[in-house]
Structure 1
Amino acid sequence: MAPRLFAESGADLELVGIQKRFPGFTAIEELSLTIPAGSFFALLGPSGCGKTTTLRLVAGLEEATAGRILIGGRDVTTTKPFQRPVNTVFQSYALFPHMSIIDNVSFGLRRRRIPDAFGKAHEALRLVELDHLAARKPSQLSGGQQQRVALARAIVNRPALLLLDEPLGALDLKLRRQMQLELKSIQEEVGLTFLHVTHDQEEAMTMADTVAVMNKGRIEQLGPPDALYDLPRTAFVANFLGQSNLFTGPVVATTADSISVDIEGHRIVVPKARAQRHSGEVTIGVRPEKLSIHLAEPATVAGGNLLGPGRIVDVSFGGVSTQYLLAIPGLGTVVVFVQNLGAGPLLAEGAEAWVSWKVEHGFGLEDEPLPTSRFPSDADTASIAVQKKRAILSELEEA
């Protein structure tokens, strides 16, 4: 591993029983977590879940209603923002437009009369591969370059903790993906602790060592990205971190290793080790890319689950894969992703089809089941959109 360009290492961050109440609502119910020093940690969740409030509390821009904030073991709960070993990179970049890039990056060091401010600024710019543009103004740079300047300006202060508040939200898709890889590479090189706030699932999974999925002021689930995706514990995590097909039914049989759930007459097997509940009404799920689609009913295979027949109600080509919506009587709509290995979609709209998947790819949730026979998923929303589209086209034809 290459030697770090910055001698200082990151510090761990600990939140203990944090609560934040505003007049009329509670932004954070109770939050406790520990972020190890030198890690890349992501707070992921929808708007209003409390993730940005959490970041502002850590930065000292908001005061906690209850609880403690410790950075490197030091309690900073009541410490002023400028006294905390923290820097923040915002979505807006917040660069000084009248200053050159080198002046922007060295600004904080010069104000604090840090020796060799320009030398340290050049070092930070070399880290983000922009030292050759040091004499330019921000308006002469692209969005991605401005974001890297903002990152250099934050890193040059050698904070123990770097806060990233939706830092890539203003970039286009291709540049955003490029910057995701660059950010991760820079974090590994400088060894600082990164706390990244985002609503973008791909962004969190691409960069973070650990992801905490937030919902309504609480952490629903925390862990490595692949573990959260492969084995979500709640319906919220299953549908926010990617897409899932979720079904609810009673457990009708158990073995030492698995449970069998009746889904409208279909017996679906789930490994016990991958199910949070083993009796009563349970909700089970499977990711769309784990499904195989068949034009004819396949033979029953040990270690597999089968649903169908149904009708293809929508086909959406997405480049790498094609999304199929399969309407199965009594079950609703199942979403299937099929990798595009050949030319064009495999199935046409209106075709009859079955879906199957390996038992080990299913999972069971800890949620109390909804009173309906099936948990709603993203596929339901997509199906409704398809129906509305067809209704509109029908009305236009009649007119």
Structure 2
Amino acid sequence: MANITTFADKGADLELVGIQKRFPGFTAIENLDLTIPAGSFFALLGPSGCGKTTTLRLVAGLEDPTEGRILLGGKDVTDLKPFKRPVNTVFQSYALFPHMTILENVAFGLRRRKIGDPVAKAQDALRLVELDHVQDRKPAQLSGGQQQRVALARAVVNRPALLLLDEPLGALDLKLRRQMQQELKAIQQEVGLTFLHVTHDQEEAMTMADTVAVMNKGRIEQMGAPEELYELPKTVFVANFLGQSNLFSVKVAGSTDQVIHTDLGGSRISVPRSRSERDAGEITVGVRPEKLRLHRQQPAGHDASINVLGPGVITDVSFIGVSTQYTVESSVYGSVQVFAQNVEAGPAAALGDTVWLSWLVEHTFGLLDDRLDTGALTTEFSTRAIATQAALAE
């Protein structure tokens, strides 16, 4: 990749202060306060209708907040028109002009803004995404991945303080999507822009972002580094939305300074106090499927560092190459998912086997009493992407 560390202006902080967005009959965004540091790759993750796209449109200036302020680099841009904001957007649909060459597409915004030497700047941007060799072709002559990189070059060439990515990889196939995830991250690190990425794809957010904010019903449920959110979710919604989790409703039966002990149908489930949001009464505890181990016999003499459940019956076995996914059913704890890495040839257990389950206490987490309905709000907006891109470039 080309060395263009001075290509784009340095990114700026984005700050949302008390943002609300109300539509007739419902509220899309509730009292959102958010700061995204300059130069970071930030992902808003959530299901359709959670408010993430509305947030992006507010930042872009395509929607006006009902209440609150939007600051970019410390400057209040709440009332600025889209084309006056130092912001560019990359859409899922690419929004390339079909009658223009690739070079003309990238230079379009520069010419509309009467920026000097638009062709040379556009060529620099195409070199950044390694597409300068196709600058004379039309968009229809490029693959989906190449068109997405052209759309990225066209956004970056304007040197925005903030780049908005609206489900940018949703139209690509799995292999190409993963390749583009790596390329987008590399480009962001090279040019130093602030990226705000909106997606419903958990893997995409975790692969690319420095910080992920999980949204639900117009508010942020939890925010942090990808590994932090995955290893230590705080709510049922986050635990279920970001990957898969086995969750159990248990009663606290005792505790020490370090560990909370709970009861699940006669089995003791312990959770580190530092990893639990609650420490009394009925609580929800969980563990990720890949943390579990299968045993054909009840583990004998296990120590306090291990939680054990069983027996249960394997009701489903799915071999997926690197791992085998098991479903274990029990009248005591219900259905549990287990992901076992295939270190040997083939599955280690078979359909109908009776097994016990174990995992390290340190992998257990305790959640807030989360009673939120995960149903999506019907907040859908349709835009004519090419027309919007033209408006933003004015």
Residue aligning to 2:335: 333
Identity of aligned residues (%): 72
Residue aligning to 1:67: 68
Shift of 1:369: 7.6
- Partner letter of residue 321 of structure 2? G
Structure 1 distance, partners of 2:140, 2:312, is 55
**What SS does the aligned partner of 2:64 have?**
coil
Structure 2 distance, partners of 1:343, 1:207, is 33
Structure 1 distance, partners of 2:70, 2:154, is 25
Shift of 1:256: 1.1
Residue aligning to 1:46: 47
Structure 2 distance, partners of 1:226, 1:78, is 37
Instruction: Flag the 1:123–1:369 CA change in 2: closer, same or farther, 3 A.
Output: closer
Residue aligning to 2:287: 286
Instruction: Flag the 1:362–1:70 CA change in 2: closer, same or farther, 3 A.
Output: same
Structure 2 distance, partners of 1:300, 1:50, is 50
1:1-399 matched pairs, under 5 angstroms: 4-302=5-303, 303-367=305-369
Q: Are 2:8 and 2:156, in contact at CA under 8 Å, matched by a contact in 1?
A: no
Shift of 1:95: 0.2
Q: Which runs of 5+ in 2 are unaligned?
A: 375-394
**What SS does the aligned partner of 1:229 have?**
helix
Shift of 1:30: 1.5
- Partner letter of residue 122 of structure 1? Q
Greater relative contact order (CA < 8 Å, ≥ 6 in sequence)? 2
Structure 2 distance, partners of 1:294, 1:172, is 38
- Partner letter of residue 358 of structure 1? L
TM-score, reference length from structure 1: 0.91
Shift of 1:82: 0.5
Shift of 1:319: 2.1
Structure 2 distance, partners of 1:275, 1:112, is 53
Shift of 1:331: 1.1
Structure 1 distance, partners of 2:89, 2:29, is 20
Structure 2 distance, partners of 1:230, 1:280, is 24
Structure 2 distance, partners of 1:67, 1:195, is 19
Shift of 1:212: 0.2
Residue aligning to 2:390: none
**What SS does the aligned partner of 1:268 have?**
strand
Q: Which runs of 5+ in 1 are unaligned?
A: 371-375, 377-399
Q: Are 2:8 and 2:193, in contact at CA under 8 Å, matched by a contact in 1?
A: no
Shift of 1:368: 5.3
Residue aligning to 2:382: none
Shift of 1:38: 0.3
Structure 2 distance, partners of 1:277, 1:165, is 36
Structure 1 distance, partners of 2:19, 2:359, is 42
Shift of 1:3: 6.1
**What SS does the aligned partner of 1:18 have?**
strand
Instruction: Flag the 1:219–1:369 CA change in 2: closer, same or farther, 3 A.
Output: closer
Shift of 1:5: 3.5
Structure 2 distance, partners of 1:22, 1:66, is 12
Residue aligning to 1:390: none
Shift of 1:322: 1.1
**What SS does the aligned partner of 1:19 have?**
strand
Q: Are 1:48 and 1:216, in contact at CA under 8 Å, matched by a contact in 2?
A: yes
Deviation string 1:138-162 (CA, Å, 9 cap, x unpaired) is 0111000000000000000000000
Q: Which moved more, 1:292-301 or 1:156-165?
A: 292-301
Q: Are 1:257 and 1:271, in contact at CA under 8 Å, matched by a contact in 2?
A: yes
Structure 2 distance, partners of 1:65, 1:247, is 40
**What SS does the aligned partner of 2:99 have?**
coil
Q: Are 2:4 and 2:128, in contact at CA under 8 Å, matched by a contact in 1?
A: no
**What SS does the aligned partner of 1:68 have?**
strand
Structure 2 distance, partners of 1:79, 1:310, is 61
Structure 1 distance, partners of 2:191, 2:144, is 23
- Partner letter of residue 319 of structure 2? F
Structure 1 distance, partners of 2:86, 2:216, is 28
- Partner letter of residue 258 of structure 1? V
**What SS does the aligned partner of 1:105 have?**
helix
Q: Which moved more, 1:47-56 or 1:273-282?
A: 273-282
Residue aligning to 1:392: none
Q: What is the number of equivalent residue pairs in this alignment? A: 371
Q: Are 1:282 and 1:369, in contact at CA under 8 Å, matched by a contact in 2?
A: no
Q: Which moved more, 1:250-259 or 1:3-12?
A: 3-12
CA RMSD of aligned residues (A): 1.4
Deviation string 1:327-352 (CA, Å, 9 cap, x unpaired) is 01221000000112222211111111
Q: Are 1:282 and 1:368, in contact at CA under 8 Å, matched by a contact in 2?
A: no
